[in-house]
Amino acid sequence: MHFMSQPRYNPRTQRDDWYYRIKESFRDLTGRVRSRVMLTVGFIDEPHRPEDIRDIGKCLTYLHEHQGQEELFGNPLSRYNGFVQRKTREFWHEMVNNGSIDAVEASMEESREKAERLVDMNTIQHSRCP
């Protein structure tokens, strides 16, 4: 997962600021590259560094890839600062509650159905050919 950001006018601070969305890019079963907005974060009012935003994306990717697995060696996110850990947990819980984690699975299932309807041109034979 990664953050997509764009400058927007923030009415709270009355100046342009970064507006964030969390996106996930993936390739479906038909080979088409797709992306989906997982969560619209909006403006982050707390002070942060660009590295923090990158690290939150890394942590969310880790949680998504290892969901349901037990941690054997402690919390893998403990090497990140408190802001990154707190925002990662906050955004992860929002995505789980919104069902956007499961939405990618549904999209993959939809592409599986489309892939099964495709015909392999190399295996087609005319019915009158022996």
Q: What is the pLDDT along the chain (130 residues), one digit of tens a residue?
A: 889 999 999 999 999 999 999 998 887 777 788 888 999 999 999 999 999 999 999 999 898 888 877 777 778 888 999 999 999 999 999 998 988 877 666 666 777 777 666 666 677 666 665 5
Query: How much is the pLDDT for 127?
Result: 66
Query: How much is the pLDDT for 48?
Result: 92
Which sign does the torsion angle of CA 51, 54, 56, 59 carry? Answer: negative
Query: How much is the pLDDT for 58?
Result: 92
Query: How much is the pLDDT for 130?
Result: 55
Distance CA 12, CA 49 (A): 20
pTM of the complete model: 0.72
Distance CA 128, CA 60 (A): 56
Query: How much is the pLDDT for 59?
Result: 92
Distance CA 76, CA 84 (A): 12
Integer-rounded Cα radius of gyration of the chain: 20
Q: Which of 103, 98, 105, 3 is nearest to 60 (CA)?
A: 3
